[in-house]
Amino acid sequence: MQEEFDALLRNRTWKLVPRPWHANVITGKWVFKHKLRPDGTLDRYKARWVVRGFRQCAGIDFTDTFAPVVKPGTIRTVLHLAVSRAWPVHQMDVSNAFLHGHLEEQVFCQQPTGFVDSALPDHVCLLSRSLYGLKQAPRAWYQRI
């Protein structure tokens, strides 16, 4: 949890602001996962702060959500071409991918459970970057990349 929280702070995902009276403040929760090695043994524990995007209000917290997605058949076709023509194939992984998307709307969420700022306990997070769970997170990531 500390690693994830530190990554959120490094990325300047939000700034703490007094809770606006008119704001729809969405809640969040910690999601935990076991990361396994290829042989199936435990590699590490992973925690992710995820907001509850289903509580977002259309037209207020988000507008557009569409992001293009590649169909599996297209990927298979491209890989088949690469193999048949001996083209090199590369793969990449982006750590905390959705956290790199910039938000256009004003979205407020609660401070992460267990990491509430003791000096500002009644403040909320005004998001400047997307978080997992936001309806517009895939679109924000696509627009950024």
pLDDT value at 139 more than 80:
yes
pLDDT value at 96 more than 80:
no
pLDDT value at 129 more than 90:
yes
pLDDT at 58: 84
Structure tokens at 107: 């979205």
Domain residue spans in the chain? 2-144
Among candidate residues 61, 138, 65, 136, the one with its CA nearest the CA of residue 98: 138
Band the pLDDT of 137: cuts 50, 70, 90: confident
The pairing of strands 102-109 and 123-129 is antiparallel
Burial zone of 115 (CB within 10 Å; 0-12 exposed, 13-18 middle, 19+ buried): middle
d(CA 63, CA 72): 28
